Amino acid sequence: MTDRYLVGLDIDGTILHEDGFMSDAVRRAALAAEDRGHEVMLATGRSSSSTTPVLEQLGLTPEYLVCSNGAVTLQRDAAAPDGYRRERIETFDPSQVLTTIAGSLTDARYAVEDAEGYFRYTSRFPEAAVGQDSEEVPFEGLLEVAATRIVVISPNHAMEEFLGVVERMGLSRVSYAVGWTAWLDIAPDGVNKATAMEWVRGRLGVPHELTVAVGDGRNDIDMLEWAARGVAMGQAPSEVIASADETARSVRDDGLARVLDSLP
């Protein structure tokens, strides 16, 4: 087919509801788009170990997966244990960033993901956020890891207050995105979902005008701005909607299914 689209899909709030539910309509639309010859892939803040199960649930077989907000890109490999190998990895030294944040958010909780997808975290970190490949360590145990991602949770901050604190910190030499709650995702400088999707686009040889991205979070803004057709989910924050070319219905109204069905 000549008009093969490259479609990057966020997971949480786009494919999956807040409780982890995936509708039959979304699954059907994703498979139908792939059957029509489009490259429908996942581009997520999740680690690889929590991304591949969603792919299996969908039943898709894309060549690439973008994980950890662009710091890790996987390529399909039948010889790999879960069908994908790490093809492109971006890491950084987390020590300066962590010590800066710790000085401003004294009661925050921290986790660092390494190049293999292994998490080290401080006390009382949500298990769902780090998965089984993880261990609790003292704060100092995070400082020497070659990190693909830092996750910071500050549950005692209201969202607007948290945004203000992050803004005042003046984080440099990293890329960061604030989540729905007082949740901060930090990646290597200049690395985000958009940079990884552009790398994938080049590898696949898809023209930029045939790129589509769908997401609902602040960590999707770069990807929505990158795509020729950026689509924000209906329940997305106002700044995410402002970054997109169009707005779909909410995840609860199967907004993604309608976007995928609109592809030729």
Those residues of the chain that have pLDDT short of 70 are: 1-2, 126-132, 159, 171-181
Instruction: Give tens-digit pLDDT for 187-210.
Output: 888 899 999 999 999 999 999 999
Whole-number Å distance between alpha carbons of 13 and 173: 28
Q: Where are the domains positioned within the chain?
A: 6-89+191-261, 95-188
Nearest-CA neighbor of 22 among 11, 31, 32, 37? 11
pLDDT of residue 205: 96
Q: What type of residue sits at position 131?
A: G
pLDDT of residue 128: 61
Contacts of 258 (CB under 8 A, 6+ apart): 29, 248, 249
- The pair of structure tokens assigned to 147 is 């990190």
CATH number for 6-89+191-261: choose from 3.40.50.10330, 3.40.50.1000, 3.40.50.300, 3.40.190.10: 3.40.50.1000
The reply to whether domains 6-89+191-261 and 95-188 share a CATH topology is: no
pLDDT of residue 9: 98
> 46 with 53: CB under 8 angstroms?
no
Q: In what order do the strands lie in the sheet with 229-232?
A: 39-42, 6-9, 211-215, 229-232, 246-247
How far separated are the first and last CA of the chain, in Å rounded?
Answer: 11
What is the largest distance, in Å, between two alpha-carbon atoms of the chain?
Answer: 55
Whole-number Å distance between alpha carbons of 240 and 215: 8
**CATH number given to 95-188:** 3.30.1240.10
**For the CA atoms of the chain, what is the radius of gyration?**
18
